[in-house]
Structure 1
């Protein structure tokens, strides 16, 4: 993914708790000069519009954030043009976004203006039927992910019982002293998003893209229950207390857990190789199996292997259902694409460019 332009995130995720949203962190009201909420059905060109606008301003030299859809990682749910304080956000289901400060910050951009409503009305029954099938697929996928969470909890407990808490405490202090050499004034801000998502194409991660320009990379390697979130939570809170802005990337399976932290002011990140992303990130590496009690993990090896096998079977079943839903969504989009007037879409694009260029 090194060839990706800009910075890439997932603002929402398909998790063991169902769809989980961090949309409010795409761009805050305080930091925004303009947020455009895109409305319109599937296939109305929202993602394509955002890609075109993002690429246009990227080529002008601006920093662009591309916020991907967890239900189709090749599609966008939002973009942010950082230096201009402008965002375009998909405001449709399942992550419904409506203006918070209408006019002053937010406004609605209706892609449905380009739709031939009469043409769509003729296919009402097919559209309703496909929507019901999509909903059924997601409900089943989330049941499988919830079931996988039960197995994951057991796997996590087996690992946690093996940890040497004294060794972990020493590691936390070592990392804190190594990372934070100085304080700055105030209490640092924060942002919460996903770098990894469970998608129709499997588990996709952008952590390598996000970390590529960071000078100091610390890597924690370990499975569930190995203390990664506790370490990251401590370091993130410590950084904020010292005045640093911290980006928290959350776990795509258990969204209460932290997967990575990024501290841009000191060009430092702490990222994890874990059972979900199965990554092999490099940096200053800490294998958390080295921080366990002697022989404790090996004595549980067969139970851990059993849990992991069932866990991946359940997750893979969920992925196949999300993939089925994506295929149905493509069928749904086909109705809308046929009903689109793309001359109107091109006019919307030109108007958006002119609107944003006012902030340059």
Structure 2
């Protein structure tokens, strides 16, 4: 078995109540000193296979690297980030389209589109159209279900927030930071935004191995409704960036614009993780310390709302389960679409292009390594 202790697994896109939310501008906007390989091609044409080969080779040379998984098929990769070589490789096709802004100077397009038999694909165009539309319909259904689940959970959030002592929650975050990381002068902060979890055909999936690979000390905030956790994490993020640290900020796939779920500080090997009934991460990790949301909550006031909140949570869980089933159906149909494209591919041509990319990346590393 390969040693993957230096591999960090994340998502840069997720199905959300707002549709597919992409963080791929983390690659296109923040890595201008890198070389960015953008792969263009149809479904099942070898994009993920190339990235897996790059990650496997680079894992022997990199102090750490990132594998970015596809939320519609977690076994597939959407991108790989190689800091040692200063290289990113990404699938540049929908739903996370990447169009080169500085072609040749920054992005290098790897075109698999000239490796297929267009005549064969045109003969099967009706199947391509039909299967593609069915996949889209499944994703639309998933979004509708997630929107309904989010509405119920947002009601719980607002009810809990009314019972939460925000000052106490933010003060707790400040006290922890005073112990764990001192203020620093003259250092620029840096933030990487990621999804650590995503709604996938395998369920609500979380890359817990990444937490253990990044952190020796893990604070887990058990928060059933997200109110105190939101305030706690926002304060942590603000203070860590003000103090000049490089951090990973992991956002919530059910509330991608307003809620931070986890924060990691690689330099300190320090992590802050939110656990809830849908992701009971305290069971999957070895926490240094567990903080319960009841510490910041008026539990007597919250008890008066328990019946409504339990109903909301139970119905949201059913909706989430149904959204997963819609993604499972989408994947099954997408697999059939991949077979149509696979039948039309010249895989020798693709392998030659893949080898050229691998060779170019190898040359980015020092010869003595």
Q: TM-score range by the shorter chain?
A: over 0.9
CA-to-aligned-CA distance 1:56-75 (integer Å, 9 cap, x gap): 12134552210000111111
Give, in angstroms, the shift of residue 101 of structure 1.
1.6
Counterpart of 1:329 in structure 2 is: 334
Give, in angstroms, the shift of residue 210 of structure 1.
3.2
Question: d(CA) in 1 for partners of 2:252 and 2:3?
Answer: 24
CA-to-aligned-CA distance 1:39-59 (integer Å, 9 cap, x gap): 000010000110011101213
Question: d(CA) in 2 for partners of 1:140 and 1:294?
Answer: 37
CA-to-aligned-CA distance 1:223-281 (integer Å, 9 cap, x gap): 22432122111111111111111211000111021110111222211111124423223
Question: d(CA) in 1 for partners of 2:198 and 2:135?
Answer: 19
Counterpart of 2:272 in structure 1 is: 270
Counterpart of 2:128 in structure 1 is: 127
CA RMSD of aligned residues (A): 1.9
Q: Is the 8 A contact 1:53 1:349 kept in 2?
A: no
Question: d(CA) in 1 for partners of 2:4 and 2:254?
Answer: 24
Q: Is the 8 A contact 1:4 1:209 kept in 2?
A: no
Alignment partner of 1:258 is 2:231:
no
Question: d(CA) in 1 for partners of 2:316 and 2:327?
Answer: 17
Counterpart of 2:292 in structure 1 is: 287
Task: State the secondary structure of the residue aligned to 2:162.
Answer: helix
Change (3 A) 1:334 1:350: same
Question: d(CA) in 1 for partners of 2:123 and 2:166?
Answer: 65
Q: Is the 8 A contact 1:144 1:317 kept in 2?
A: yes
Alignment partner of 1:41 is 2:42:
yes
Using the size of structure 1 for normalisation, the TM-score is 0.94
Task: State the secondary structure of the residue aligned to 2:153.
Answer: helix
Task: State the secondary structure of the residue aligned to 1:84.
Answer: coil
Runs of 4+ in 1 over 6 A off after TM superposition: none
> Where does structure 2 lack aligned partners over 5 or more consecutive residues?
none
Task: State the secondary structure of the residue aligned to 1:227.
Answer: helix
Question: d(CA) in 2 for partners of 1:22 and 1:51?
Answer: 20
Q: Is the 8 A contact 1:71 1:200 kept in 2?
A: yes
Task: State the secondary structure of the residue aligned to 2:69.
Answer: strand
Using the size of structure 2 for normalisation, the TM-score is 0.92
